[in-house]
Structure 1
Amino acid sequence: MPTEHPEPTTAAERRNARLYLTGLGLSMVGDTALSLVAGIWVKSLTGSSALAGLTQMCIYLPSLFGPLAGLIADRVPRQRFLICVNLCTAVAVACLLFADGAQDVWVICAVMAAYGTSLVLIDPAETALFAHMFRPSTRGRINGLRLGMQETGRLVSPLIGAGLFTWLGGGAVALLDAATFVAAAAATALLKPPPEQARPPRARWRTEILAGAAHIRATPALARILVVAALIMAVSGVGVAAQYSMVAALHRPPGYLGVLASLLGGASVLAGLVSSRVLARVGLDNLALLGLAAFACGSALRSVAWMPSVWLGSFVLGFALPWVFLAALNAGQQLTPDHLQGRVAAAVTLLLFGPQAPAQALGALLISHVGYRSVYLASALSAVVLAAVLAQGARRSSPPEHTVATDGET
């Protein structure tokens, strides 16, 4: 794939980018903090781990309706829709102020369900507006910054949320999150995207909902990257349980995983920050290949019960999934027409993250029958195979480097 030469950003793009990243950064802090605190809050009110786990189910259950959310994102004015959803979510989250005893756990669960619904609605609309608002070169840079912010948020926000809950209680975290949704709505209102394009006539509802998946199947360059990305994400889910056995083999307590997770998270932040430069130099397919190579190397290094190897493997793994994910994300945005952006974004999310729960369950079953080294080595081999498949597909679809000589030329 030829190297892309980034175009200089315009003043309007820079302004929109600052507003977009500001709103996104604030909402990420509140989102991550509340997701953690909801379970802690229910546990402290009831003493029940089962009820605490129920709050997480309430958050993720609405993700089943992702394809419908993608259709909505492609049929409504996206900017106004995002403003409305953010403000409604702020009101819903503020209702947590009425939860002050075990009898009010239903309030927390109901709010978490509404909260999860808002996340499902916001994601495809935000992705579609983002793709419409920025040119490909600008999107690549902002996608990298966005991923870096997400990874930083995952490291910092739980500490903020847990600390605020311990100090002032769950109501304070609820107010923080409500405020971040209001801030996100304000930042979205200040954006100045170009006029939205005319949308094609509506078809049957089934055809409309499945249009994103149909577009992916009909676009080989997009399907190739997405299928590989979905498979390696599933492989990573299978390996989750192996990390506990790995730490035990190092003669460390389970809490030592926090150290390794911080190392991996720091590398993921760095991967996001440098991704736009790497993407501009090597292209989408090669960015995914680099991620797969990092996954293979990191998994192989983690299979060795030696602390320096595990540390290095954890750091290298931090580059793997971010680069594969960014290749898939940018491919979806670049190879999709505006009227399908929401549905393709929803399909991408479902493809990449839908298999995580069953993959982790499979990994938990496997680790009781095979050693963690076998899991990591099999993961490394899977990444090598997927890299070979992706490279072969990319070569087949690439145009020939040399044109055929015309008559009279030698």
Structure 2
Amino acid sequence: MGIAQELPSSAMERRNARLYLTGLGLSMIGDTALSLVAGMWVKSLTGSSALAGLTQTCIYIPSLFGPLAGLVADRVPRQRFLIIVNLCSAIAVACLLFVQGREHLWVVFAVMVAYGTSLVLIDPAETALFAHTFRPSTRRRINGWRLGIQESGRLVSPLVGAGLFSLLGGGAVAALDAATFVAAATATALLKPPPEQPRPPRTRWSTEILAGAAHIRATAPLARILIVAALIMAVSGVGVAAQYSMVAELHQPPGYLGVFTALLGAASVLASLVSPRVIARVGLDTLTLLGLAAFAGGSILRALPWMPPVWFGSFVLGFALPWVFLAALNAGQQLTPPHLQGRVAAATTLLMFGPQAPAQALGSLLIAHVGYQSIYVASAVAAVLLALVLAHAARRSSASEYSRTTDSDR
């Protein structure tokens, strides 16, 4: 009887997983292509690099309201909400088909704000629905595949977007992205998640919106992984500008950076796909430590003024952030109750990606006064220090848990 009940559940979960990954893969291609092409489109209409860069600002401005989006995701029926937001996003992006010249430039900027808003609204609701739909073991596998699809999309989608724009214009890319939003809405509608549990009564608005951050702070295993992940993400942002000096020091043209980026991207895909097995064997704390070790090793190898170590260092570095990010993502889903999933997801996104812009600005300032090798060595030292802090915190937590268990047995 138990086996008979287990099989339909497993079959339904596999069906849900296929639908989820199909919708994700299609939407990833469209989203990445449009993010790139929007700037290219404005540049071709105006000749202004400043206005082209403004398209990215329009996309990222709504991210400031991420915590509010997390609260919304925890207060509405998530599946229905995602269907509606995806369909509204398809309509908004389709408005780009009316852009014919410079006089319609405002349409591009308005659509990019709407587009950025949709991404902010979708992310916590999608994460919360995902955590509710799948068991932990399945979540770990799909999280790995999800990040692998995203990393692959970052390699392929810019080529698709730029090619479509060159051949058919920006309207073709807009039509592609609108179609992928419809595909995502369809895949979401076909999902069959378990019934949602009753949610606790509402409290004060300020308490509600900060509940995700409060839960992270009160949950030590989650807090230590997220804090370390946020810090190493910030350190990685500081090193972005250093890679251009690295290429110049190796006597290569700027375009050669694409070789290192391809190596890093290939390793990121591999890291994502093997992550479920690594987590099953060693756990989330150790996966984070392995990511930090890869970050330190890859940074040191990139600091060497010789091509083979830099190639290998770029590949090793590709394992670092995916493993740290997946450890944080899985920890958030695993250690958060269903009614807080959206707010914890929003707080996690803000914590990990919010410091990127100032960190990259700091890196651009540093590279004008400090050699790229010093930045990479300092980054490696920071990764080692974070690994030592995390290992110490995890060890203390394990010892405390063992002590409580021993006392209760007595």
Does the pair score TM above 0.5?
Answer: yes
CA distance in 1, matches of 2:241, 2:48: 24
Give the match for residue 400 of structure 1.
402
CA distance in 1, matches of 2:369, 2:132: 49
Give the match for residue 247 of structure 1.
247
- Letter aligned with residue 63 of structure 1: S
**CA deviations over 1:320-342 (Å, ceiling 9, x no partner):** 00000000000000000000000
Give the match for residue 195 of structure 1.
195
CA distance in 2, matches of 1:405, 1:210: 34
Alpha-carbon distance, 1:403 to partner:
5.3
1:400 match: secondary structure: helix
**CA deviations over 1:357-390 (Å, ceiling 9, x no partner):** 0000001111111111100000000000000000
1:75 match: secondary structure: coil
Give the match for residue 144 of structure 1.
144
- Letter aligned with residue 274 of structure 1: V
Per the normalisation by structure 2, the TM-score is 0.96
Give the match for residue 257 of structure 2.
257
1:370 match: secondary structure: coil
Give the match for residue 111 of structure 1.
111
The CA RMSD measured in Å over matched residues stands at 1.5
CA distance in 1, matches of 2:94, 2:305: 48
CA distance in 1, matches of 2:306, 2:112: 42
CA distance in 1, matches of 2:362, 2:384: 21
Segments ≥4 residues shifted beyond 3 Å: 399-407
Alpha-carbon distance, 1:400 to partner:
3.2
Residues 96-105 or 77-86, more deviating = 96-105
CA distance in 2, matches of 1:115, 1:403: 54
Give the match for residue 4 of structure 1.
none
CA distance in 1, matches of 2:68, 2:218: 20
Give the match for residue 373 of structure 1.
373
CA distance in 1, matches of 2:208, 2:45: 44
| Matching of residues 268-287 of structure 1 within 5 Å | 268-287=268-287
CA distance in 1, matches of 2:370, 2:94: 47
Give the match for residue 3 of structure 1.
none
- Letter aligned with residue 205 of structure 2: W
Alpha-carbon distance, 1:103 to partner:
1.1
| Matching of residues 66-145 of structure 1 within 5 Å | 66-145=66-145
How many residues align? The count is: 401
CA distance in 1, matches of 2:12, 2:202: 32
2:319 match: secondary structure: helix
Residues 122-131 or 98-107, more deviating = 98-107
- Letter aligned with residue 179 of structure 2: A
**CA deviations over 1:63-110 (Å, ceiling 9, x no partner):** 000000000000000000000000000000000001010111110000
1:324 match: secondary structure: helix
CA distance in 2, matches of 1:251, 1:304: 13
CA distance in 2, matches of 1:164, 1:146: 25
CA distance in 1, matches of 2:155, 2:212: 33
- Letter aligned with residue 279 of structure 2: L
Give the match for residue 3 of structure 2.
none
- Letter aligned with residue 379 of structure 2: S
- Letter aligned with residue 342 of structure 2: G
| 1:47 is the counterpart of 2:18 | no
Give the match for residue 21 of structure 2.
21
**CA deviations over 1:294-326 (Å, ceiling 9, x no partner):** 000000000001000100000000000000000
CA distance in 2, matches of 1:328, 1:250: 35
Give the match for residue 357 of structure 2.
357
CA distance in 2, matches of 1:386, 1:405: 33
Per the normalisation by structure 1, the TM-score is 0.96
Aligned identity (percent) is 81
